[in-house]
Amino acid sequence: MYIRHVEKTFDIIIIGGGIVGAATMYKIQSAYPDLNLLLLEKEKGLADHQTGNNSGVIHSGIYYKPESLKAVNCVNGRRELVQFAKTYGIKHDICGKLIVATKEAEFVHMEKIWQNGIANGIEDMRRVNADEIKEIEPYCSGIAGIHIGCTGIIDFRGATEKMAEIAVSKQSRSEVHTQEEALGFERDGEWTLVKTTKAVYRAKKLIVCGGLQADRLARKDGVKLKEKVVGFRGDYYELTEQAKHKVKHLIYPVPNPDFPFLGVHFTRMVDGEIECGPNAVFTFKREGYGKTDFSLRDTVDALSYIGTWRLFMSNMKFGIDEYRRAFSKRLFLNTLQTLIPSLTMDDIHPGRAGVRALLLRQDGDTRDDFRIEYTDHSIHVLNAPSPAATAALAIGDNIKEMAEKHFGLK
């Protein structure tokens, strides 16, 4: 099928230069320095999509079901990520987080995540009352909460770049290519040919960490997949200079147990900015960060899928409220004032946006665990939503172990 000359041969080609792809390269190259690896990223730089456009939070692991892949990998990955940041000088700050209940109806779910925290072995975690909330965050209003001291913020883009840099330093024949998109795959005996926008490469094995394009890349590799990736855009506001003193750490609401996102929260960033958000709205372009961005292909793909409509129908009121807030600064402020009542319109201004990939089941359920599957020649990371960035080094270990077992790495 491919008539172009094969430019180079690699032991493993990794597709996707987000933090999961970079962590996978780092883990495999560290364990097997003789292998030559290629990391392909279609954008100008690594971490240009979900990794580089998230809130920069190092999650503790308190939200996730005990023994799930999310829980285990988040806790293990967090500890390793913090050590990695210390070792290699990645900007980070273990500043702590408050999860705040503003009404008694939230106590039941707050107790559930507290018990998750205990079961998941999260360190430096304590309950706080209204007075203690004020001691930690003087402008925050709440009646009870959980303080988690082991969480913080980090430069995920810097961490991603460092992982790739370390990997290629261990093997002169390994490479990282940016601005080169994988277009398709063909089996050639025991090899896989990878056609890109610039060349054709031969690989013994393939690992795909495609994020927002994970389902499409899997299908191109012959993986039979019933689910589809659906994108949700999250818009952020930032506090103005006059209001930054109102947030000292990370402040989160008790999350809605019926929806997969964590709610609008306040995040100190490593560059000194303080973000408020995000909301969560269906996006008409998988890699679109503007409110009016549109892709016909992505829209038809999502709206022709039964799972999308079942999600819409089961969350109609929530979805409408999120869309209204996306286009109304006043409504967004009203949500922020639940946690910090003294905020005003002059205290916030529009910030950036991110897009999150969810592998949506046909029944409309978005709450799947991390999902990684393999064939005889490839491994596909099909679902890696938050806390995947925090968990990336642990996910990289999972993929390395899967490759050892099924590919016979040596």
Neighbours of 376 (CB within 10 A): 9
pLDDT for residue 410 is more than 90: no
- E-strand ranges in 215-370 read 228-239, 250-253, 265-268, 274-277, 281-282, 348-360
Find the helix or strand (DSSP H, E) in which 378 lies.
strand 378-383
Q: Per-residue DSSP letters for 130-152?
A: HHHHHHH-TT---SEEEEETT-E
pLDDT for residue 156 is more than 70: yes
Domain ranges of the chain: 6-50+157-227+369-407
pLDDT, position 260: 60
- E-strand ranges in 270-346 read 274-277, 281-282
| Weakest-pLDDT range from 55-69, 149-163, 363-377 | 363-377
pLDDT in tens, 48-107: 999 999 889 999 999 999 999 999 999 999 999 999 999 999 999 999 999 999 999 999
Assign domain 6-50+157-227+369-407 one CATH number from 3.50.50.60, 3.30.1280.10, 3.40.640.10, 3.40.50.300.
Answer: 3.50.50.60
3-state class (DSSP) for residue 401: helix
Average pLDDT of the residues of the chain: 94
pLDDT in tens, 292-331: 999 999 999 999 999 999 999 988 888 888 888 889 999 9
| Weakest-pLDDT range from 123-132, 197-206, 324-333 | 324-333
pLDDT in tens, 7-60: 899 999 999 999 999 999 999 999 999 999 999 999 999 999 999 998 899 999
Q: Are 53 and 277 in contact (CB under 8 A)?
A: no
pLDDT for residue 160 is more than 70: yes
Q: Are 239 and 347 in contact (CB under 8 A)?
A: yes
pLDDT, position 322: 86
